[in-house]
Structure formats: C-alpha cells, structure tokens
Structure 1
Amino acid sequence: MTRLALIGVSVRALAESAALAGEEVVAADFFGDRDLARVCESYAVGRDLGLPLTAQGLATAARRLRADAVVYAANLENHPEVVGEISGWARVIGNDAATLARVRDWASLRRVCAAAGIAAPETLLPGEERRARGGVRWLRKRRRSGGGHGVRRWCGTALDADHLLQAEIPGRPASVAFVADGQGARVLAVSEQLIGRRRLGARGFTWCGNLVPFTTAPAEADALLLQARRAATVLTRHYGLRGLNGLDCVVERDVHGALRLWLIEVNPRFTASMELAEAAVGRSLFALHVAACEGRLPADLLETTPQGHAAKGVVYARRMCTMPATTDWRLRGRSDVPWPGQRIEKGHPVCSVRCAGASRAACLTGLRRAAAAVYEEIEAPVAGVQPEPAPETGARVLARTETPAQGPPGPYVEEVL
C-alpha cells in the first residue's frame, strides 16, 4: 500500500481535500495544528521531529515517515533541487523539479509573457536597475517569493542576487486557481486577494486571505475568466504544468474602462485560495490534482463564476500571545487551530477564519468580526491553561528527538521563504 505524505509550510487544507477524496495520508508541516491532527497522522517538523523549518527539513520529514509518494505545498516550488532529491526515492505527485526551475525563472517568465501577449509588469533582475523608468513605483521582492513577505518599495539601492524589481500595478490583487494536464488547463476560481489588512493583523504587502468570486459585473466576470483561462493555458503548454497551480495577479481597469488581468507570478502547486475554490467547485481538488498529474482532466469540470460569496482570512498575532483553550474553535468557523498553551510570536499566523455572505462587503465585515473575536480571546490574560500536547502515537514518539523544538524559531516571514 502506498504511503502518501503531504509536506509544506502548512498543509491542513490540502489534507482535508485528500480526506474528501477518501485518501489516507500522513502530513508534516511547520505548525502541526490541532485540526490537522484531526484529519490524519501528522507531525510538526520542528516540534515533533526536531528538524529545521526549511525545505530540506520537509524533505527529511517525508523520508523519515517512509513515504512512497509525496504531494508538496508551499514553499517547495522555490526549491526545485529539494523536489528533485525527493523524486530520487519517492513518486512526486505534482510539477517535477525541471518544471519548477523553468516556471520560477523570472527571465524565462517575462520572455514567455511578452511573446504571448500576456500582460505582466516590467520585471528587472540584478544588474538591470539602470533600466528602472522614472515615474514608476518599483517593488523590491525576493526571487524566491511567497505570500507577499519581504516585498518593499524600492529606494534606489543596488539589488543583490536574491532580489528583483517589479513595477507596481494599481488595481485589486487576485488569485487564479487552475488545474492542468501538461497541455490544457481548467480555471477553478478567480478570487480577490486580501493584502495587508490591518484588521487581520497584516501589514504592507503580506497576504492575509481571499474572497471568492472576484466581484465585478457579470459581463466583466466572463471577460476576466477568459483572460485567466488564456494565461493558464499558455503557461501550461509552455512549461508543461500539471496538477493544481495558481497565478498571483492584479486586476486593473484600463483607460477604456475594461478590466485587464496582469500576471505577477506563477505558483506551481496547491495554493491558499484553493479551499475556497474547492467549496465552489463542490469536489475534491486533491482528486483533481492526482488525476491531472496522470494526464486526465475531467470533461465535466465547468469554468463558471460561483454563486454567492465566501471569504477566508488569516489572523496574525499583533503581539506575543499564549493560546487559550481552543477545543471549540473549529465549531466556531476557525481553522489552522493552534494548541492550548502554545506561544505565538508577534507577526506569526494564529488561525484562519471563514465566512459566507450575500456580498463582498458582507464577507469583509464577517472577517473583521471573526478576527476581532479571536483577538479578544488571545489578547486577554490566560490563566490556568495548561499546554496540551498533540496526541501521542508510537510513530510520533519514535520520530521525536530527545529535545524537540517548541515552535517556529525566528521571524515568521524569514522561516517560510
């Protein structure tokens, strides 16, 4: 029987999608959240396995757990060499190392977009700073980017080898979730990205959630879907993308009043917006991922704009907090649930909140209220709450080191990238 491992910074949503497909999996991520343990056998890479919170640590975890097959989530797309290493001893269900190296090559991506006529902001690599045009707001971002962490407005200094410049596009950030078989692609959802929302504890360009669908007039929604489909198809055919993939975009209204989709970057793996897409599609995206990696796209998968509105927000700690009792958090619409007594540093994610509503405004109001309720609990003095360890199993005990790590060390934004 195949032992299938899920690895990534956070794999709770991916594990729930696998459970919806009837798959039995083992999971290893940076957090080891309470609701992940509810879904499957799971391990926190640092706390339970004593491994570093890095891509290599995730790979070592999968091997230690004797996985025969691996599905990866963020941030393995930034480390094709690690994915290549995994493929030497397990089946990788997702884009292979060579595909990751090509699609995450910024010079290659800008050439493909220019040749295909896909709108993309001007991107400058180290040594090209002199080409930065005046009158343009430039963003300095990591070449191995993710989640908006480390994005800053450029102050004119020289770039090092790990950073690039990208012209800032005015508009609403968006996510495109799609599934591909190497030749064709189906768009699952176009959603609005929530960036730097202070009511969720986020700052700057940090991603903190999604709202589906991307709200606009029906005719404009259809036009936006066409642009998303074309971009996904062009990229799939050029790079041979397989399985679940995502695009980070900005939607701008041009001088003629039409919506234009700008491609910011490609995320060639399961993305954070996909649990909203899964609810809209009404079927397991994990099952779609596996089938697409085998070259099968379902003929009955329709590309439509979902009815109704739904949103997901990530609540970030505004200061260091010790978690209260979290037993009923899932029942109250919260996910990625920490353990009671767990200490969470300022700027680290606490949990995710979900809501549905009749409109975009109703969903945003619901997220603000849900986040406020979380802050009211976690920022109050905690008395009498004892740390509650993750359930012990023989495998977990054997896998632990004698002195397990107590949580994600160092700034969260550095550890996830």
Structure 2
Amino acid sequence: MPKTNIQTLLVIGIDTVAIAKSATNASYKIYAVDFFGDLDLKRTCFSYKSMVKQKRGKSCGKMKSKLKPEIFLKMAKALLKKHKIDAILLSSGLDDDFEVLNDLNGIVPILGNSPEIIRKVRERRGFFEGLKRLGVEYPVTAIVENVCEAKDVAEKIGYPVVFKPAKGFGGANIRIACNSGEIERAFNQVSQASEDVLVQKLVDGVHASASFLATDDDVKVLTLNEQLMGLRSLYQEEPFGYCGNIVPLKCSGIVMERCEQIVKKVALYFGLKGSNGIDLVISKDGKPYVVEVNPRFQGTLECVEKVIGINLVESHINACLHGSLPTIKKQASIYCTRLILYAPKRVVAPDLTVFPEIRDIPFPETIIEKGEPLCSIITEGKTRDISVLKAKKLAKSIYSLLHPA
C-alpha cells in the first residue's frame, strides 16, 4: 500500500482524540469510531460515530455496561457505507477481541500489527512462553480456573499476589491478595470480568511503559514513561486503574539500557510493527519485568510527541509502509504529564473549552456518572515536578467547577 494512496484514516477505540489530532496534524482526513464521542473529537474529525451520545442533561452512563466491542465493528461498517477509507489505526479497547479485529481487517486494512500478531502478544500463555524463550524477566504467572487452583499457585509463588483478568485494559478489575484469607474475594471479583484469571507475583517497583516504533528488522525506543495508576486524588476507583503518565521516566542510564534491550528483543521476536507499547515494572534493584504488550497506539501519544518532537502517526505510517524509523533530533529537555480526571460523584460537566490544556472534553452540561472519566489534562515543565504540579493545580481548578447532577 503506497503512502500516496493513504489519504483517509479511520481511528477506532475507546479514546481516539490524541490519535485523530496527530493524524490531522499530518494532513490526513480522519474518521473515528469511539466510545465517548467527546467535543474535541467532533472538532477534529470529518465524521465520527460513538457509543455514547452526549447531550445536555443526559447521562453518559457507565462504561462497564455500555462498552461492547462488536458495536465498534457495527459503527465502522456504517461509516464505510458513506465514506472511502484507506486504512485503520487502533486505539485501546480491542486488544483482546480477535474476531472483531479480523472482521475489521477484512473490510479495511489495519495499519500496524495484523490480528494474528496481536493475538500472539495478547494470549497470555503463548506470550509468557515466548518471554521465557527470550530470557526476558516477567512476574511469575499462572492461569487458574477456580479458587482452589488460585490458592495452590499463590502458595507456590509467594504472597502478595495479583489477580488479573486474562482480557482487559486500563488496569480494571485487578486485585491484590496478601494472604490465603484474601484469595477467594480477589478471585471472585476478577472472575466476574474474565473466565480465565491470572495469578501473578507482585513485583514491588515503579510502574512504567516503553513507547517504541518497529519495522521488520529494526526497533527504536522513543521514550520510557512513568505510569500513574489508582490515584484516589483523581477519584479513580480501581486500585490499578490507569490515571495517565509522565514522560519521560526519570531513571538511570543502566535501567534505560536494560529496558531498551528488552523492548528490542520482544518487538523483533513477536514481529511487532509500527507504534507499540510495553508495560513494565522496574524493581527497586533496577530490574525491568515485562507485564504486557499494547500492540497499538498508547495513551502516552501526545506526551511523547511533545517531548521528542515528532508526529507519531506519520512515524507509524512510515514504519509500517516504508520500513523507516524517525531520527530523533530533539533531546528530552521537557517533561510532559497527562492526568485523567474521574468524576468524584454524579456531576454536570462544565464548559472546559476555555482550558487549552484539556483533552477528551465532554459536551457542556452532560452528566458524568461517579467514577467515570471526566477529561484529560496535558501539561509541560522543565522538570518532572513542575509538570506534575501544573497538572495537579489545573485538576483542582476543574474539580472546583463541578456541580452535582
């Protein structure tokens, strides 16, 4: 597929604003299929469809009850009946829905990893077996089907352990068990979200991610990122729920080198292509452990672009179609923070268009349910602390504008 033939792109996923804006900045005509249907997405796209229909005085509902991957496919087909689209770019939300990905790829090619490659890195047994063959460290992990198996595994690998759904995103439905008395509760909660449940040794350390670009025979690590998870100050109700990131991660050169070596091994072994992310935990002694691969654009996109000065969608397309990786001219002289704010209670969305740092902007006077995403904040600073402080101050200002619905 020559680049000259790609003029229109369909971005699909739960939150597509950052990808759509990056693609628009690269002069592509953008369509989107999205969960939230936020105001800034409407302003960016030529046309879009969303699961949530935001209206004044109407609730946006709960993501858990509304999110159905097959509806993404239905909405994509509806757009394709009216518009010619050359390729698909993936956001989060479809990583584990292989049938939907196959159907989408059969209609319009997914630019990046094929559904087969996505399956290889997302099916946990095969993925961890691959890491073992590579000699790449990962938290000791087992898949269990019942409480008895969970107790046996936990005793073998040692407490504390983490219970995770085999399928999922955004850190949802993850629980910790610190002793045998907490196993049943943790297993029962997680098994409601997934038939297969992972039991994993808890690695105490810094939650991080690596953003990288890959071709058939080369890999470029763009940034290591600090992940923000389970922040009660942002009213995130999930203990491991995604709350944003700080780019780049402050770490030693040795840790950076170890992470880069791991990323290159994993990317080339599994045949990853284009923009991808790998979630890591870096232990207190500086050892990186691979947690999972996100085989598509990540929530760090805008921060990565600001820190290293590239257009990530353009770079992704060049990597996928031409096997070329960008030259990073800009040194990481700034830090960029993204915070995701959640509703502290059932609230009426204020007009957030007056804040240039706000992304994922809800339509004014729509109702956001307690614990649901409200908006995102993007701030920059010469140091990590300055960037984070700016974001926290703005978050405080936004929360002060909220009124109960």
TM category, shorter = 0.7 to 0.9
Kindly provide the amino acid, as one letter, of the partner of residue 298 in structure 2. Answer: T
What is aligned with 1:365? Answer: 389
Aligned-CA RMSD value: 2.1
- Equivalent pair of 2:23/2:30 in contact (CA under 8 Å): yes
Q: Which residue of 1 aligns with 2:229?
A: 195
Residue 187 of structure 1: how far off its partner (Å) = 0.6
Looking at structure 1, the residues matched to 396 and 233 of structure 2 have their Cα atoms a distance apart, in angstroms, of: 8
Cα distance between partner residues in 2 of 1:34 and 1:276? 20
- Quote the offset at 1:381 in angstroms: 5.9
**Alignment pair present for 1:308 and 2:334:** yes
**2:280 partner amino acid:** C
> Partner residue of 1:110?
128
Local SS of the residue matching 2:107: coil
Q: Distance in 2 between matches of 1:323 and 1:44?
A: 21
For the pair 1:326 / 2:344, whether they are aligned, the reply is: no
Match for 1:70: what amino acid? I
Number of residue pairs aligned between Structure 1 and Structure 2: 368
* 1:265-344 matches, cutoff 5 A: 265-298=292-325, 300-301=327-328, 306-329=332-355, 331=356, 333-344=357-368
Q: Could you list the runs of 5+ residues in structure 2 that have no partner in the other structure?
A: 55-65
Q: Assess, with a 3 A threshold, how the Cα gap between structure 1 residues 90 and 374 changes in structure 2: closer, same or farther.
A: same
Question: 1:104 & 1:178 partners in 2: Cα distance?
Answer: 17
TM-score (norm 1): 0.83
Asked if the contact 2:140–2:157 (Cα under 8 Å) also holds between the matched residues in 1, the reply is no
* Aligned-pair CA distance for 1:135: 3.8
1:131 and 1:381 map into 2 onto residues whose CA distance is: 45
**What CA distance in whole angstroms lies between the structure 2 residues aligned with 1:5 and 1:134?**
44
1:211 equivalent among 241, 246, 249: 246
Query: Could you say which residue in structure 1 is the equivalent of 2:68?
Result: 54
CA deviation string 1:294-325 (max 9, x = no partner): 251226247x8612222110000010111122
Runs of 4+ more than 6 Å apart: none
Match of 1:122 in 2: 140
Give the whole-Å Cα distance in 1 for the aligned partners of 2:162 and 2:136. 20
- Within 5 Å, give how 1:102-181 maps onto structure 2: 102-127=120-145, 129=150, 130-132=152-154, 133=156, 135-154=158-177, 155-157=182-184, 160=191, 161-181=195-215
TM-score, normalisation: structure 2: 0.85
One-letter amino acid matched to 1:323: A
1:21 aligns with 2:26: yes
CA change 1:7–1:358 in 2 (3 A) is same
Out of 228, 237, 254, the residue aligned to residue 259 of structure 2 is 228
Percent of aligned positions that are identical: 29
Could you tell me how far apart the structure 1 residues matched to 2:404 and 2:144 are? Answer: 48
Rounded Cα–Cα distance in structure 2 between residues aligned with 1:139 and 1:170: 11
Gaps of 5+ in 1: 383-417
> Over residues 211-258 of structure 1, what are the superposed CA-to-partner deviations in whole Å (9 max), with x where a residue is unaligned?
111113xxx1x222222222221122221111110011111122xxxx
Cα separation, partners in 2 of 1:101 and 1:225, compared to 1, 3 Å: same
Residues 177, 188 of structure 1: 8 Å contact kept: yes
- Helix, strand or coil for the counterpart of 1:172? strand
Asked whether 1:40 is paired with 2:30, we answer no
More deviation, 1-10/279-288: 1-10
Q: Kindly tell me: are residues 209 and 230 of structure 1, through their superposed partners in 2, closer, same or farther at Cα, counting changes over 3 Å?
A: same
Name whichever structure is richer in helix by fraction.
Answer: 2
Q: Is the 8 A contact 1:195 1:207 kept in 2?
A: yes
State yes or no: 1:86 paired with 2:109: no
